[in-house]
Amino acid sequence: RKSTRLNSSHLVISYAVFFFFFFNDTATTEIYTLSLHDALPIYTKEHEWVLAAGDAATVGITDHAQEELGDIVYVDLPKVGSRVEQGKSLGSVESVKAVSDVYAPVSGEVTEVNALLADAPEKLNEDPHGAAWLVKIKLSAPEEVPNLMSAADYQTYIGAEK
């Protein structure tokens, strides 16, 4: 059985194809463009992901992080309006194994907290890159975003951790 590993260029093409078909309106000839930083999540060494678009960012923990933690039973997140600073704790995730801090991958103001996780923290185990995002942040220092790891760099990083 042959294993195929996707890299970031595969993801860019997939996103471009998705956006073309999803947003393509036959009544117009408008072409939609997609910035690489606006389309793909980027990562931290502490296993958080960020999906940034303009001055807004959605933050979560990676699939790797939830696998390492095991069954998640509680999530502690900041209040809307809280200021977070890159590299500082913004909350924690409690599993049957341990309590782990979640670090802010970017600086800014929390604009939304995922209410789903208050009643169903186990969603982090089921969909960490989708419905189980943690917080949305209005960026105060957008220049921090390009300094985070690409998907390919993150895969290399977690491979080296093992």
State the CB neighbour count (10 A cutoff) for residue 104: 27
Residue 39: per-residue pLDDT: 55
Residue 57: per-residue pLDDT: 96
End-to-end CA distance of the chain: 23
**Rounded to whole angstroms, how far apart are CA atoms 152 and 40?**
11
How much of the chain, in percent, has pLDDT values that exceed 90?
Answer: 72
Interacting residues of 83 by C-beta distance below 8 A, sequence separation 6+: 107, 108, 109, 110, 140
Give the pLDDT band of residue 105 (cuts 50, 70, 90). very high
State the CB neighbour count (10 A cutoff) for residue 145: 17
Do 98 and 76 form a contact (C-beta atoms < 8 A)?
no
